[in-house]
Amino acid sequence: MTVIRKFDMKGLTMKLMGMFFVMAAAASLSACGINSVPAAEEVAKAKWADVQAAYQRRADLIPNLVNTVKAAAASEQQILTEVTEARAKATSIQVNADDLGDPAKVQEFADAQAQLGAGLGRLLASFEAYPQIQSNANFRDLQSQIEGTENRINITRRDYNEAVRKYNTTIRTFPDTIGANLIHGAEPMVPFQAAAGSDVAPSVNFDE
Question: 88-147 pLDDT, tens per residue?
Answer: 999 999 999 999 999 999 999 999 999 999 999 999 999 888 988 988 999 999 999 999
Return the percentage of the chain with pLDDT > 70, whole number. 77
* Residue 51 confidence (pLDDT): 97
* Confidence grade of residue 76 (pLDDT, cut at 50, 70, 90): confident
Q: Average pLDDT of 153-166? A: 97
pLDDT above 70: residue 175: yes
* Confidence grade of residue 75 (pLDDT, cut at 50, 70, 90): confident
pLDDT above 80: residue 33: no
Q: pTM surpassing 0.85?
A: no
* Residue 22 confidence (pLDDT): 43
* Confidence grade of residue 70 (pLDDT, cut at 50, 70, 90): confident
Asked if 93 and 116 touch (Cβ cutoff 8 Å), the reply is no
